[in-house]
Homo-oligomer: A and B are copies of this chain.
Amino acid sequence: MFSVLLYKLEIIKGGLALNYNGKRVPPVVIRRLPRYYRYLGELIRNGVMRISSNALSERMDVTASQIRQDFNYFGGFGQQGYGYNVEHLYMEIGDILGLHDGYRTAIVGAGNLGRALANHDTFEKRGFKLRAIFDNSPDVVGTTIHGIEVMHIDVMDDFLAENPIDIGILAVPRSAVSETADRLVAGGVKGLLNFSYAELKMEKDVAIENVHLSDSLMTLSYKIKQGE
């Protein structure tokens, strides 16, 4: 089943399900899709209806030819010369990202991070539906976060059997990651968003995204150091 690679050599390759229509899409391109989606959302709110790859390029840290290359993995989207239809592109990218599928989520761990994630309204705005929150602490179980009553982790298996969940969000201590992931997968989740430092390695058909909050601080640190 799942293993946590904290002190082991093997490290997740994260290669699962990166293909699009049978073509392999580089992970870096996939990771740009959410950014495109966010920026296109801004354009729509500003009433912009068409945008060229050049204009889009000026707004992002990507060259215009890179944008065209990125989009080509997904069929291209736009007419050259005319630029892209912003709303169409927004819908298409949202669709590719699965944002119109209404994935149901459950958060495990109702500590500070779990609570912050439960209250993070962008998740909902992107179409994800928070259905349950689990914790093992009697201080937290029974309290309400973002309108949802926190359940004891002991009832999670039964809950999942009756209430299908697509995405498990792990905000548990490292020591609990492996077991929690196993139980979520046994309960039928299709993907895990893991916020513990431990890297989850997948051994079956489950999508995984490990989030390292300290990576962004290190990137900022680089900018400070090299900008001095």
- Chain B residues with Cβ below 8 Å from A122 are 197, 212-214
The verdict on A217 contacting chain B, using a C-beta distance below 8 Å, is yes
- A16-53 Cβ-contact flags toward B at 8 Å (1 or 0): 11111000000110110111011100110110100000
The verdict on A1 contacting chain B, using a C-beta distance below 8 Å, is no
Q: Which of A76-84, A96-104, A152-160 sits within the interface?
A: A96-104
Main secondary structure of the interface of A (DSSP, over half): mixed
Please pick, from B6, B96, B218, the residue contacting A225 in the complex, using a CB distance under 8 A: B96
A→B interface (CB under 8 Å): 5-11, 13-20, 27-28, 30-31, 33-35, 37-39, 42-43, 45-46, 48, 58-61, 96-99, 101, 103, 105, 111-113, 115-117, 119-120, 122-123, 126, 128, 166-167, 169, 190-193, 197, 205, 207-209, 211-228
B123/A214 in contact, CB under 8 A: yes
Quick one: given A11-B39, A214-B120, are A97 and B221 in contact (CB under 8 Å)? Answer: yes
Q: CA separation between A177 and B15, bound complex, in Å?
A: 36
Q: CA separation between A99 and B219, bound complex, in Å?
A: 10
- Chain B residues with Cβ below 8 Å from A19 are 226
Please pick, from B30, B97, B214, B223, the residue contacting A207 in the complex, using a CB distance under 8 A: B223
Shortest CB–CB separation between residue A161 and chain B, in angstroms? 20
Quick one: given A31-B219, A122-B213, are A225 and B9 in contact (CB under 8 Å)? Answer: no
B103/A112 in contact, CB under 8 A: no
- Chain B residues with Cβ below 8 Å from A10 are 59
